[in-house]
Structure 1
Amino acid sequence: MTRGPLLYVCVRPQVGAAAAEYESFRKATRLDETRLAEHDLVREPLPADAFDVYSGFLVGGSPFNTTDPESTKTDPQRRLEADLARIAERSAAAETAALFTCYGIGVVTRTLGGEVSRAFPEDTGPTAVSLTEGGRADPVFGELATRFTALTAHKEGSAQPPPGGVLLATNDACPVQAYRIGDRLYATQFHPEPTTKAFTERMAVYRDDGYFAAHDYERIAGEVLAASVTEPVRLLRAFARRFGPAD
């Protein structure tokens, strides 16, 4: 049976940052526009036929936080979190495939009965990530080096995966860097898609959003540009080969 295209799901209010993120996912997966579609979930609900049309979903990052008090969440954030929860539930039930990144991992964890808190933030920039035994045996993560550098910038995290989750990657600052539910739902705390240059451009968009001191931009950007982040994109390519359209 021929698999349909994958769908990049945008959850960033900033249009320019969202467009750049889509391009990063497209280049990382090596899929063209016909094989990696895009949908702006901030402005439009998930299409009713999404689970019929698309073979899987790639969920990008966002300045939103799962742990934001409900009273402060906007209507678009509440709506998109409900749609992301639907994707999480369907992929956990093996009815589709999905890879959630950064903000998305919090939505998945909460949806599937885990705990998300502000106890495990990571500074903006490169961080060392190690595969677990489960990660080394995983069909997607098993292609990566057992220890690699990834890019992070987040204010929340988890101490352990939700019930039934297989921990795939970890580090000391944020114990849950990646996990799998079943065999079709993946979630990463780090950003697997951007090049270092693309990440610094994203940093410029969010330099006043509390991820780092604005006056430290040049220093942190220099650290990012000096980092080697060859491994994270490999997991996106492996995910696309496994669940996306055939070449």
Structure 2
Amino acid sequence: MRPFLLLAARDHDEVADDEYRAFCAYSGLAPDELHRVRAEAASLPEIRLEDYSGVILGGSPFTASDPVEDKGPVQIRVEAEIRALLDRIVAADFPFLGACYGVGILGTHRGAVVDRRFGEPVGAVKVRLSAVGLNDPICAGLDPAFFAFVGHKEAVRTLPPDAALLAGSDTCPVQMFRFRKNLYATQFHPELDHTGLERRIDAYRHSGYFPPHEAESVKERARGVLVTEPQKILANFVARYGA
């Protein structure tokens, strides 16, 4: 099997390493089957799509829909390089799965309206599959409604007509979508478990996702919710596209 590629854009080493652990664990991929490139650390190397089975874009503290004047030079570079890669991925309809930050990147690339109207606080929300989602192979075996971890400042407000809505929630109508046949994005984190969530709460407590003094109560609320379904999306993605 050709390996998969994980593009990461996190400036916090502990969180980045835990994200990689989770993507490996829940996709069923060994480290040599999931190559990681940390886009924030240096310019992207040459990436030949034919060397990979698929591309996964992880989360990030970056907010894709912010005005360019509010973005730092690293974010500007990272987004320009990822968008250039997406040009090739979209043209080839190459297997792609964007998680959280991937919604903003893929959404804006394809003409979706992405803004802060449907941002959600850190925690678990109930996600419901659409009729299309119930029949999509990436959602195979998922419960029609399930809890998933979220925590985002931006979200898709309006999908373009050529996108398929796969899932939504009461607080965020676009939780998962597909473009063409093989381009996916989730607003929730399919890789995130309780351990990873608590690590991110500690790392980003001063990043505007919640009042810093509420960090422990955010953790406590999350501990009371069972989150096991979203990880199936990763296993399904690898099963469908691994070759």
Equivalences for residues 184-203 of structure 1 within 5 A: 184-203=182-201
Show the counterpart of 2:14. 16
**How far, CA to CA, are the matches of 2:87 and 2:141 in structure 1?**
26
User: Runs of at least 4 residues of structure 1 off by over 6 A?
Assistant: none
Q: State whether residues 140 and 236 of structure 2, in contact with CA within 8 Å, keep that contact through their aligned partners in structure 1.
A: no
Q: State whether residues 123 and 221 of structure 2, in contact with CA within 8 Å, keep that contact through their aligned partners in structure 1.
A: yes
Corresponding pairs, count = 243
Show the counterpart of 1:174. 172
Deviates more, 1:3-12 or 1:185-194: 3-12
Task: Return the offset for 1:18.
Answer: 0.8
Task: Return the offset for 1:95.
Answer: 4.4
1:89-142 deviations in Å (ceiling 9; x for gaps): 333334421100111211111111111111111010000000001100101113
Task: Return the offset for 1:7.
Answer: 0.8
Task: Return the offset for 1:87.
Answer: 3.8
Q: State whether residues 93 and 180 of structure 2, in contact with CA within 8 Å, keep that contact through their aligned partners in structure 1.
A: no
- Structure 2: gaps (5+ residues): none
- The reply to whether residue 103 of structure 1 matches residue 101 of structure 2 is yes
**If the length of structure 1 is used for normalisation, what is the TM-score?**
0.94
Deviates more, 1:118-127 or 1:10-19: 10-19
Equivalences for residues 60-99 of structure 1 within 5 A: 60-99=58-97
2:185 partner amino acid? A
Task: Return the offset for 1:74.
Answer: 1.8
Show the counterpart of 2:54. 56
**Pair 19,90 (structure 1): closer, same or farther in 2 beyond 3 Å:** same
Show the counterpart of 1:134. 132
Task: Return the offset for 1:207.
Answer: 0.7
**How far, CA to CA, are the matches of 1:29 and 1:174 in structure 2?**
25
Task: Return the offset for 1:148.
Answer: 0.2
Q: State whether residues 94 and 184 of structure 1, in contact with CA within 8 Å, keep that contact through their aligned partners in structure 2.
A: no
SS at match of 2:167: strand
2:133 partner amino acid? G
SS at match of 2:45: coil
Cα RMSD between the aligned structures? 1.4
Show the counterpart of 2:145. 147
Deviates more, 1:74-83 or 1:105-114: 74-83
**How far, CA to CA, are the matches of 1:181 and 1:88 in structure 2?**
12
Task: Return the offset for 1:143.
Answer: 2.3
**How far, CA to CA, are the matches of 2:92 and 2:132 in structure 1?**
19
**If the length of structure 2 is used for normalisation, what is the TM-score?**
0.95
Show the counterpart of 1:157. 155
